[in-house]
Amino acid sequence: MLPTSKALMVQGTTSDAGKSVIVAGLCRVLARRGVKVAPFKPQNMALNSAVTKDGGEIGRAQAFQAFACGIEPTVHMNPILLKPSTDCAAQVIVQGKAVDAMDTIGFRSYKAFAMTPVLDSFSKLSSEYECVLIEGAGSPAEVNLRENDIANMGFAEEADVPVIIVADIDRGGVFAHLVGTLDCLSQSERDRVVGFVINRFRGDVSLLEPGLEWLEEKTGKPVIGVVPYLQGLMLDAEDAIDTKQDELDSSGSILNVAVPVLPRISNHTDFDALRAHPQVNLEYVAPGKPIPSCDLIVLPGSKSVISDLTSLREFGWDKQIQKHLRYGGKVVGICGGYQMLGKHISDPLGLEGHKLETKGLGYLDAMTVIEKEKVLTQKSGHLHLNGKVSPITGYEIHMGVTTSKGVSPVVCEEGDDGLINSDNNIFGTYWHGLFDQPEALKLILEWAGLEDTKDIDLVKEKQHSLDVLADTLEEYLDLGLLFSNTLKTDC
């Protein structure tokens, strides 16, 4: 075991109970009090990922939690990342590097060995930081996944860390969720649960108090707090697509943007800045639904680009994109979307699925080959559109190597990256984070047809949201109980 007195693990009764948000908020609470704190998630399954400075890949939620701490993310904050490529297979990334693609049965066997790098990364963080806030995955009550568990109680037992359990009352059945979860645990696992957090509560908390008293009497565990339902926060999603957006400014022009949701869509956090912009009406188009009339279509990244391109055609989106362009619309492709806009895509090693090649949509003079070595890099450069130039920063995560002929809208120190067509109505690039810089976002929106474009700063929006979240946790959680009984620190 690796005993530590300054770590806390946040587990949940279900996926999307609010573990990522609670960890991010607590990271900000401690960081504001001068505590050197870091996030950690032993195992993550998500298609939203981020690139660290040293060229590793981790879950986007852990990169955002590091942002909440005011520190640079490292590969040790998420040592095991699973990126699903089909319903039964995923790419396995260990301490930032892709090691293999495994099916469900294969990963169950691999879990017996995965604890070693998980504990290695946790040990490194524990030696460098005063506090480590750990996020579980899914639920510890998934008894079918208990053998060699590295994500929840298996890790907590091995690392000897205390646990709080979060439940989402907005789903209903919150008391059954908490009591049932506890009943699925072994005695030693129940003993390390120090209390509960009820998340996303609406209404008068006094109406809940009889239930809270019953829960504490039934389980012998305290309710550390009831967190209200928070709306309008700009926080990075771990995997689920957040379709909510800020209220539109009806006093000026509006740009309508559509993002087709591919079956294996990845890094949809690229579009958070569009959701936050008061002049952008962003609509995610569900699989099989028609693309609405709009000014701009953005084809997102994909973990399985050939399979997703096949689905795009099956949904009829290829013909709807043609019609959109005939009526004067614009199209942008990001990463996998860029590959789809080219002439041809091949996967000779079958790295992303069974189908090895397909014709692209043919709008850009580009050819892509999926190769085993993944490109993982942070980048900086300039965006060139409509005779204007804007500095940009971003990152690349892809296994495709694209050769192209023509002019790129994105230019960096390493050369051109992407392609724009001669009609100036379609461009593609490998860069994620393209919309995050205020100047670049304004330039793209103007290129797409928006007039009198307002400025927004996504980083400031996220900083503000984290401070609101931290303020809320400080108000509604018993932090004295939480920190004195778990982190053993005078926070």
Cite the active site residues: 335, 432
Query: What phi-psi label fits residue 277: left (phi over 0), alpha (psi between -120 and 50 degrees) or beta?
Result: beta
Alpha-carbon distance of 375 to 126, in angstroms, equals: 29
* Cα–Cα nearest to 216, from 184, 170, 179: 179
SS3 63: helix
Q: Are strands 296-299 and 330-334 parallel, antiparallel or unpaired?
A: parallel
Beta bridge partners of 212: none
SS3 365: coil
**CB-count exposure of residue 147 (10 Å: 0-12, 13-18, 19+):** exposed
Q: Quick check: 400 and 351 in contact, CB under 8 A?
A: no
Residues 6+ apart with CB under 8 A from 116: none
**CB-count exposure of residue 446 (10 Å: 0-12, 13-18, 19+):** middle
Beta bridge partners of 407: 420
User: Which residue type occupies 135?
Assistant: E
Q: Quick check: 129 and 36 in contact, CB under 8 A?
A: yes
CA count, 13 A, side-chain hemisphere, 401: 6
